[in-house]
Amino acid sequence: MSLNPKLKDWRGKRVWIIGAGHGIGAALVNELHSLGAELILSGRTLSALQAVEDGKTGVSVLPMDAREPAAWQACYAALSQQNKILDAVIFSLGDYTPMRTWQLTPAEVDQVISTNLSAVLYGITTVTPDFIKNKQGSLILLASVAGWGGMPNSLVYGATKAAIQNLAQTLYLDLKPQGIGVYLVNPGFVKTRLTAKNQFTMPALISPETDAKEICLGLSQGKFEIHFPKKFTVILRIITLLPNAIYFWLMKRTTGL
Ligand SMILES: NC(=O)c1ccc[n+]([C@@H]2O[C@H](COP(=O)([O-])OP(=O)(O)OC[C@H]3O[C@@H](n4cnc5c(N)ncnc54)[C@H](OP(=O)(O)O)[C@@H]3O)[C@@H](O)[C@H]2O)c1
């Protein structure tokens, strides 16, 4: 039984991707474009969005800083003027700096929480009133396996991803009866500029292109939670369900931190 509508046919579907200029978001642009979707690409860096757009038909760019509620309102007003329903929003923005507790600063707290959590909530408040009115729409939220359990170096980042996982469940409970799909994506390690900051060898590292295909596969199956690569995520999931003493021991042993 699928918990969500199966998103199989993307032809003519209008999808707004936040964080489309790099990494997973950029790979999703290419994948969804090949499946026939009409795409709106957002992010802060116009040149990066234009490089991904690269003359593709049915693809447009709409730069914004998603940490600003006013930017959401202005961009959504511009999209609404086109008199075409928005079918889905993909929240693929994110920020991450690996650090230990004693390295944390208030500025880092604000930066990561505003990007990974507040921006997503602002987006949801912007688009859901029309989704509810139209009794259709899909919210696709990028969290991470880092939200499943505390890990060294994932300070703030992991906490925001756990918050996104919690948020997705609440959204599902509120919005499923309104005809809206809520999809939670928890990838393992993906080779992007975000993970380029990691100093360790990342297990089961995948490319953004593989990541985008896995996301589209999960969406086509109507899953609520989409996690991959399974050879890594299934083991990690089991580890996070173990008693705390064993979990802490395993984390320390595997990370050496
Ligand atoms: N890479 C992984 O291993 C991995 C694993 C699990 C989950 N994820 C999640 O997947 C998502 C995408 O990550 P990624 O690896 O593709 O990272 P990335 O390559 O750094 O891409 C992040 C995107 O977010 C945009 N962005 C950042 N701040 C923004 C803001 N304030 N307003 C609008 N856009 C903003 C960036 O563009 P600008 O800088 O131009 O704004 C960029 O296009 C994130 O939510 C991340 O947490 C990644």
Ligand 1 mean position, distance from CA 242 (Å): 30
Ligand 1 mean position, distance from CA 115 (Å): 9
Kindly state the tokens that stand for 32: 């969804």
Q: Which residues pair with 240 in a beta bridge?
A: none
Q: With a 6 A CB cut-off, is 24 part of the ligand 1 pocket? A: yes
Q: With a 6 A CB cut-off, is 48 part of the ligand 1 pocket? A: yes
Instruction: State the pLDDT confidence band at 83, using cuts at 50, 70 and 90.
Output: confident
- Domain of residue 111: give its range: 14-232
Q: What is the pLDDT of residues 136-154, one digit of tens each?
A: 999 999 999 999 999 999 9
Instruction: State the pLDDT confidence band at 162, using cuts at 50, 70 and 90.
Output: very high
**Which residue has the CA at smallest separation from atom 36 of ligand 1?**
19
- Mutation test residue for ligand 1: of 18, 29, 62, 92, the one with most atoms within 8 Å of CB: 92
Query: What integer is the mean pLDDT of 109-131?
Result: 98
How many domains does the chain fold into?
1
Q: With a 6 A CB cut-off, is 28 part of the ligand 1 pocket? A: no
Minimum-distance ligand 1 atom for the alpha carbon of 44: 41
User: 120 lies in a domain?
Assistant: yes
Query: Is residue 228 within 8 Å of residue 214, measured between CB atoms?
Result: yes
Average per-residue pLDDT in the chain? 97
**C-alpha to C-alpha distance for 249 and 239, rounded to whole angstroms:** 11
**C-alpha to C-alpha distance for 181 and 15, rounded to whole angstroms:** 13
Query: Is residue 25 within 8 Å of residue 19, measured between CB atoms?
Result: yes
Kindly state the tokens that stand for 241: 């369900």
CATH code for the domain in which residue 60 is found: 3.40.50.720
Query: Is residue 146 within 8 Å of residue 95, measured between CB atoms?
Result: no
User: 68 lies in a domain?
Assistant: yes
Query: What integer is the mean pLDDT of 148-161?
Result: 97
Instruction: State the pLDDT confidence band at 125, using cuts at 50, 70 and 90.
Output: very high
DSSP letter assigned to residue 40: E
User: 199 lies in a domain?
Assistant: yes
Q: What is the pLDDT of residues 194-237, one digit of tens each?
A: 999 999 999 999 999 999 999 999 999 999 999 999 999 999 99
User: 3 lies in a domain?
Assistant: no
User: 150 lies in a domain?
Assistant: yes
Query: What integer is the mean pLDDT of 239-257?
Result: 96
User: 247 lies in a domain?
Assistant: no
User: 241 lies in a domain?
Assistant: no
pLDDT on residue 1: 83
Checking if the pLDDT of 58 tops 90, the result is yes
CB atoms under 10 Å from CB of 129, counted, come to 10
User: 204 lies in a domain?
Assistant: yes
